[in-house]
Chains A and B, each alone.
Chain A
Amino acid sequence: MSAISVATTTITTGRRQLVNVRQQSLLVAKWRALWVMGLFAVIAVCALLRILLLGFFEPAPASRGMADMLLPDRGEIRDRQGVPLARAFNAYALWFNPNALGGGSALVKSPREVANALARIFPDLDVEDIAARLASGKPGYLRRRILPEEANRIHALGEPALEFPRENQRFYPQGSMAAHILGFVGADGHGRVGMEQVFDGQLTDPATRGAPAVLSIDSRVQGALEDELGRGIRETNAKGAAGIVLDVDTGEVMALASLPSFNPNLIDMASTPNIFNRVSNQVYELGSTFKPITVAAAIDAGTVTDLSRRYQSARPIAIGGFQIRDSHSLGASLNVPEALIHSSNIVTAQIADELGSARLNATMRALGMNERPYIELPARGFPLWPKGDWSRITTMTVSYGHGIAVTPLHLASAYAALVNGGIWRPATLRKLDPGQVPQGRRVFKASTSARMRQLLRMIVVDGTGKKADAPGFRIGGKTGSAEKPGAGGYRRSSLVATFAAAFPMDRPRFVVIAMLDEPQGTAATSFQRTAAWNTAPIVGRVVPRVGPLLGVMPDDTRDVDITDLSPLVPGNASE
C-alpha cells in the first residue's frame, strides 16, 4: 500500500515536473515557430518585393539595351524617297595578323605567292608592295574595305594570318553618285565637305542619330543628271560639268552634280582633286543666260513696254574703249523676242542702258547675286560682283552675263524666280514639308514672270535652244556660251557653255541647269563649242528621263500660249 502511495507521490511530483517541462518546451516551440514564421514572412516579403521589382522595373533596361544595340554609330543620310545614301556599316577590312599562327612563319605559303593570290582577287593591288608588307611581319591593314565575296575568296586561300574583321565604317551604297552633296567622313569620325559636315552634330548625337537625316534630292534624278552630264563631257572632251535640278516653288534641290566626281568610299585611298564643287563653289561668267533676267527687269520696271519695238543690231556699241558686238551679224534691227532668240549682246546692252544701272543692280541684288549662294553646303563661292555704283559699261556687260561671275546655283535660283511668278527663294538640300517652304521675296511681278515663260519657251521653239526641246515636256530656256577670261582678255577658244531651262513652261515646276566647262567641238556636237550644240541637248535628254519621276508627264496637247508673241518673229507668223 505504502509502496503504492510512494509511487503516487512520485507520480504527482513527476507529473508536476512534466507539466512544467511541457509548458516550457511549448513556450520554446511557440517562440521557435514565431521565429520561423517571421523568417518565412521576411523571405516571403523579399520574394514579393523581388517579383514586384522584376515585374515593374526589369524589362525597361533590357529594351533600351536593344535600341542601344541597334543605334548606328553615325546616323543615316537618305534621299527624299528614303533611299539610303550614306550609312554606318560594318564592312569587312583586310587585316594582316602575323601572330595568327602562334609564332614561326606568319604565312603558310611564301609572301610572294600570297601577294599574287591577293592580286588575283584585287586586280588593282600593288603586288610588290603587298609582298614586302607580308614579308616584314608587321600587322596592318592590307585593304580598308572589301566585299563579302572577296572575303570568301580570301578565306579560301587558307591563310589564317589574313583576317577580315568587320569594322564600323561609313558606306555610300550609290558610290560616287551625289558625292559632292554628301561629302565624306574623315578618319577622326567627323564629316567633311558636304552634308556629312552640315549634319555632323545631328548624325553623331545619340539622341538624334537613330532617325535618318533626309535630303531633298531624289537619287533617280541625281543619277540621270550625272549620267547625262557625263555623256556630255565624253562627247565634248570638256574639263568638267555642273548641273542642278531645282524645284521652283520650294527651292528644294532635286539633284546637284559636279563632274568629274569622286568616290567617298575610297576617300582614304586617294586624296582626290575633284572634291571641289563646281555648282556651289566655282564662279563663272555665265554669259547670255543673264539676258532673260535683264529683259525681265526691263519689263518689270516698265522701260520695255512694247516687245515689238526694234533696236538696232547692226553696229557694235563702242563704249569706254570697248566694243560690244554679236557673234555674227543678226540684221539691221531686232525686237525683244528676236534679240533673245538670237541672243544679241548689242540689243540686250541697249535694253540695260535704258533700264539704268541702279535698277539692274537692284534686281541682281534681289536675286542674291551679290552674296554667297544660299545652300547648306559648306563650300560656297563668293561671286565676282562689280563694286560700288555701276558705270554704263558695267551695266551693259552685266546685262549679258559678263563682268559678273556667279555660281550655277545662283543662276538656278534666279531662273526659279523668273518663271515661278517672281518669288525668289533660297535653295535648300533639306526636304521641306509643305508648311516649311520659305516665304521668299518678290523680285518680279507675276505678269513679268508670265511674259518670261513665253519668251523662254520661244527661245527653245525657234531659237538657240532648239536641241533642248523634248517633245511633250514644254521646256523653255536660254543658252549661254561665255568666253573664259584669261591673260590679256577673253580667250575665244575656251568657253563655259550653259543652258538654263525650266519645264513645263505652262506651269513651271523645275529649273534645270546644265553647264560644261571648256567643251571642245567634236563630231558629236557638229564641231561647235557653243551651248546650243552641247548643253541644250543635255537638258533635252535629262528632262524626259527625270520629268515623269518628278510628276511631270509629257503631254503634246499642252503648252504655254505664245500666239501673241509668235507674229513678232518672222517665219513664225503662221503659228
Chain B
Amino acid sequence: MNLTRDRLRSAGWALILTICCAVTLALTFRVNAVKSQVRLAERQIVALKREKLFLETEFEARANQQQLKALNDVEFGYEAPKADQYIEGERQLASLGKPRGPGAPAPIRVAAVLPAGEEGSAFPAMVSPLTGKAMAAEVSEDTPRKPASSAGLRDRLTRIDPIVVGKAEATRE
C-alpha cells in the first residue's frame, strides 16, 4: 500500500480545499440568486408603487373638488352644518347623558305600534352567512358584554366634569 501518512494528509488537504471551493462556489451562487431575487423584488416594488401612484392620481382626478361638488349637487345636496348641529365639547356631550334631575319634567316619549306578529325589533335579525344562526346567538351568554372603552369614556368624563358625574352618582343612590 503506497497510501502513506503524508499522502493521506495531502489528500485530506486537497479534499478540504475542494470542499471549501465547492462551498465558496455554492455560497457565491446562493448570494447571486438572493441578489437577483432582491432585484426582482425591488423591480416589483417599483412597478407596484408606480401603479399605486397611477391609481391614486386617477382617483384624485376623478374625486377632485369640482367633481365632488357636482356629485353633491346632483345626488346628495349636503350643506355645511349649522351652529345648532355642533356640540361645544365633551362637557356638553356628557350633559346629554345626564340622568334626570329631581323634579325635572319627564322626557317626551313617542308612541309606537309594533306590526302584528312581530316581537321585539322591527328589523329582521342579522343572520351569519357561515353558521346560518342569528348574529346575537353566536355570542356566548357567558361572556360579559360591555362597550369596548366604557372605562376610558367614564374616566375622561370624570376628568372633564367631576361635578356632573358626582351629581349623577348622587341621584342614582
How far apart sit A110 and B152, CA to CA, in the bound complex (Å)?
Answer: 73
Q: Is the CB of A175 within 8 A of B60?
A: no
Q: Which residues of B contact A87 (CB under 8 A)?
A: 53, 57
- Inter-chain contact A227/B69, CB cutoff 8 Å: yes
B163 within 8 A of partner (CB): no
Tell me the nearest residue of chain A to B59, going by C-beta: A173
B-side contacts of A37, CB under 8 Å: 13, 17
A471–B79 Cα gap in the complex (Å)?
A: 14
How close is A544's CB to chain B, nearest CB, in angstroms? Answer: 4
B60 in contact with A177 (CB, 8 Å): no
A62 within 8 A of B: yes
Q: In the complex the two chains form, is B46's CB within 8 Å of A70's CB?
A: yes
Q: Which residue of A lies closest to B88 (CB)?
A: A555
Does B135 have its Cβ within 8 Å of any Cβ on chain A? no
Beta-carbon contact of A554 and B86 below 8 Å = yes
Which stretch, A8-16, A50-58, A201-209, touches the partner chain B? A50-58
Taken together as a complex, chains A and B put the C-alpha atoms of A87 and B56 apart, in Å, by: 11
Interface-forming stretch among A93-101, A123-131, A217-225?
A217-225
Query: Is A472 part of the binding interface, using a Cβ–Cβ cutoff of 8 Å?
Result: yes
Shortest C-beta distance, A266 to chain B (Å), equals 13
* A545 and B20 contact, CB distance less than 8 A: no
In the complex, B8 has a CB within 8 A of chain A: no
Q: Is the CB of A175 within 8 A of B27?
A: no
Specify the chain A residue showing the minimal Cβ separation from B42.
A66
Complex contacts, B68 vs chain A, CB 8 Å? 223
- Closest chain-A Cβ to B50's Cβ sits at a distance in Å of 7
Which A residue sits closest to B61, measured CB to CB? A173
User: A556 CA to B82 CA in the complex, in Å?
Assistant: 10
Indicate whether B24 reaches chain A with its CB closer than 8 angstroms.
Answer: yes
A415 lies within 8 A of chain B by Cβ: no
Pick the residue among A33, A69, A89, A223 that contacts B69 (CB under 8 A): A223
Instruction: With CB as the reference atom, state the residue of chain A lying closest to B56.
Output: A84
CB 8 Å contact bits of B44-71 with A (1 = contact, 0 = none): 0110011001101110110011101100
> A165 near B: Cβ within 8 Å?
no
Which of B31-39, B95-103, B113-121, B165-173 contacts the other chain?
B31-39
Q: How far is the CA of A70 from the CA of B52 in the complex (A)?
A: 12
Complex contact A553–B69 (CB within 8 A):
no
Chain A CB within 8 A of B153 CB:
no
Total residues of chain B contacting the partner, CB 8 A: 39
Q: Count of chain A residues with Cβ under 8 Å from any Cβ of B? A: 49
A223 with B24: in contact, given A548-B81, A555-B83 (CB under 8 Å)? no
Instruction: Provide the bound-state CA to CA distance between A90 and B53, in Å.
Output: 10
Which residues of the other chain, A, contact B66 by a CB distance below 8 angstroms? Answer: 174-177, 223, 227
**With A171-B57, A222-B65, A553-B86 in contact, is A54–B35 under 8 Å at CB?**
yes
Determine whether A7 belongs to the interface, using a CB cutoff of 8 Å to chain B.
Answer: no
Contact of B21 with A by CB under 8 A: yes
A362 at interface, CB cutoff 8 A: no
Q: Tell me if A438 is interfacial: C-beta within 8 Å of chain B.
A: no
Q: Which residues of B contact A (CB under 8 A)?
A: 6, 10, 13-14, 17, 20-21, 24-25, 27-28, 31, 35, 38-39, 42, 45-46, 49-50, 53-54, 56-58, 60-61, 64-66, 68-69, 80-84, 86, 88
Other than the given A33-B14, A51-B31, 5 more pairs (CB < 8 A) read A47-B21, A66-B42, A175-B64, A220-B65, A554-B82
**Residues of A in contact with B (beta carbons under 8 Å apart):** 26, 29, 33, 36-37, 40, 43-44, 47-48, 50-51, 54, 58-59, 62-63, 65-66, 69-70, 83-84, 87, 89-90, 148, 171, 173-177, 219-220, 222-223, 226-227, 471-472, 544-545, 547-548, 553-556
Q: Which 3 A-B pairs have the closest CB atoms?
A: A223-B65, A472-B83, A173-B60
26 A-B pairs (CB sep. < 8 Å): A33-B13, A33-B14, A36-B14, A37-B17, A44-B20, A47-B21, A47-B27, A51-B27, A51-B28, A51-B31, A58-B35, A70-B46, A70-B49, A84-B60, A89-B53, A89-B54, A173-B64, A174-B60, A174-B64, A175-B61, A177-B64, A177-B66, A220-B65, A471-B82, A471-B83, A554-B83
